[in-house]
Structure 1
Amino acid sequence: MLFAHPRRFPPKDRAVVVTGASSGLGRECALHLDQLGFRVFAGVRRSDDALALTAASTSGRLRPLKLDVTREDLIWKAAARVSEETGDDGLWGLVNNAGMCLSAPMECLSPDALRYQMETNLIGHFAVTRAFLPQIRKAEGRIVNVSSGLGRIASPYLGAYAATQFAKEGLSDALRRELRPFGVAVVVVQPGAISTPIWGKVREAAHDILSGASQEVTDLYRPSFLNFLERNERRARSSTTHPESFANAVAHALTAGRPRTRYRVGRDARATSVLARLLPDAVLDAAFDAVVATRRERARESVAAQS
């Protein structure tokens, strides 16, 4: 994906923090920004990921940053370290990429699981932004919040994840409007389905959730949900959108003179945005009927057996 704008901010020596840089889109983004000339602080939780990122950096500038977005003590330590290293220059960019995805029927999801999803994908982003904001304001820099096409349309069996993305969209809009007077831009990047290691993690977590719910409930959803998981992963594996496209969008958001408020990466992300604007809820609900059809048939069988 190519972006163009007549005025650019050169990457050289501009400091950026990328959260969730251990693997997948975050890793691709951190290495790409490093290659462009940014001073990248790559947020990781484990020392082996830090070593791997350092080895993969072609510039030697990339710095791993111990950062877990669910732990405020580590967030503030990371902010202090970056502040010490950047000094009066401040922080040009914060890429809030860290996240995870729980896929399950909402009835099978425990309140604690939902809290963890929210803590990682929403509250963690807020906590990181709040800690780094004085440095970003100093540089009149950029905040890039990574969302999803599911921030516009909620799919069955991805309700918890979609809830965090809807909330992140609202948080981003509010921050963008509050921070404009300080010269700080807030941008949302919405990637569609891209083949990354996250899909294997989604499948493992889904089976754990099913095993922890009552059989009476899981029996209602299992056939259609397992079909959904398989179809979703297959779609991601065959996606023509690649991690480089995501990294290019983030780079444009960090260098454009006037960045867009939203970058939609991939045909599915762009299509979702259009459909959300044009189609009424009833039409969207009907389009998702095929996803839950097996569930409905199973429910009818269960009711018939009980009667």
Structure 2
Amino acid sequence: MTSDAEPVVLLTGAGSGIGAATARAFAARGWTVYATDVSTPLPERVRERCRTRELDVTSDEQCRAVADAVRAETGGVDCLVNNAGYAAPGPIEDVDPEVVRDVFDVVAHGPHRLARAVLPEMRRAGGRIVNVSSVLGRNAYPGMGAYSGAKAALSSMTDALRMELADNPAVHVSLVEPAWVETTFAENARGKLADDRTADYDAVYEDLERGWGLDGGPLAMAPERVAARILDAATEDDPRARYTVGRPAALLRWTERLPAWLSDPAVRWFGRLTTRLARWWR
């Protein structure tokens, strides 16, 4: 615990969706919340109960500066929640390498930068690191290779960090893995689809634009459900290594056990089926 009466959480990607819901959930439980995002001001519903900061997680300097500022103001960080992320969808062949690097820089390297900024103190005083991944980090999806790859990197780094800290009982590291969530994630991702497209991938693009591959359709859950699991990881006496959120995520996790000759057609079938179902659902 920090010197403040209230525990302190530093949260990234708090401008909308899961991040905004998580900021409000921590504040409702009496935490001092430092809600950050790449641009400010954050929404009023976040600002009214949280301390907000601008933070570009791709900047080493900003990550160190924000962590130092929180320590100076409160005495320390009890929990770091790495939630910032975005997707640049499209077939691997069509996605620009620079775009892929940018996705990895936010999704995987950002949490690494912030972990390095808070761990020296956490190892002495205790604390939690909660990384928000996705079931796509375990189950790749056509047209989401860059995002799936970045989340897979984050998942592996989280596992490694948890084991590296196993001898320190005061520090816990957890991964939260939702599937589809009702946010602007899909809308923002579709806006990043390439204009110059390889015709062989027309079915992939159709799924991304019209199917449930990006937004989940009726399978998507409220961001508050994910926020509740993040709060569990931050507060439970014996937090789990992984928190899978919702039945669709649990089902997708289960498909890991299937051989590729069975799982690959099933995933492709899902995309093509939901492209047709979406006409009626919407």
- Change in Cα spacing, 1:240 to 1:169, as seen in structure 2 (3 Å) is closer
- Superposed CA deviations along residues 190-229 of structure 1, whole A, max 9, x for unmatched, are 01101101111011011xx2x1x3x5xx222134412333
What does the per-residue CA deviation read over 1:13-40, in whole Å, with 9 as the maximum and x for residues that have no partner? Answer: 1111111101110010011101111111
Name the structure with the higher helix share. Answer: 1
Q: How does 1:174-185 map to 2 (within 5 A)?
A: 174-182=160-168, 183-185=170-172
Q: Displacement of 1:234 after TM fit?
A: 7.8
Answering whether residue 87 of structure 2 is matched by residue 101 of structure 1, we say yes
1:275 aligned onto 2:268: no
Q: Is 1:287 aligned with 2:266?
A: yes
Q: Distance in 2 between matches of 1:239 and 1:203?
A: 18
Q: Equivalent residue for 2:228?
A: 248
**Residues in 1 aligned to 2:88 and 2:255: alpha-carbon distance in whole angstroms:** 24
Residue 51 (structure 2) aligned to one of 59, 63, 85: 63
Give the equivalent residue in structure 2 for 1:120.
Answer: 106
Question: What amino acid maps onto 1:167 in structure 2?
Answer: A
Partner letter of residue 67 of structure 1?
A: L
Q: 1:29 corresponds to which residue?
A: 22
How far apart in 1 are the matches of 2:265 and 2:37? Answer: 41
In the other structure, the counterpart of 2:239 is 259
Q: CA deviation at 1:236?
A: 2.7
- 1:132-281 aligned at under 5 Å gives the runs 132-182=118-168, 183-206=170-193, 209=194, 211=195, 213=196, 218-232=198-212, 236-239=216-219, 241-276=221-256, 278-281=257-260
Structure with greater Cα Rg: 1
Which amino acid in structure 2 is aligned with residue 171 of structure 1?
Answer: M
Question: What is the CA RMSD across the aligned residues, in angstroms?
Answer: 2.1
Give the whole-Å Cα distance in 2 for the aligned partners of 1:235 and 1:64.
28
Kindly provide the CA deviation profile for residues 235-280 of structure 1, in whole angstroms up to 9, marking residues without a partner as x: 534235211111110111111110011101111111111121x311
Structure 1: 5+ residue runs without aligned partners? Answer: 1-10, 295-307
Label 1:195 to 1:268 Cα distance change in 2 as closer, same or farther (>3 A).
same
TM-score (norm 2): 0.89
Counterpart of 1:200 in structure 2: which amino acid?
Answer: E
Q: Paired residues, what number?
A: 269
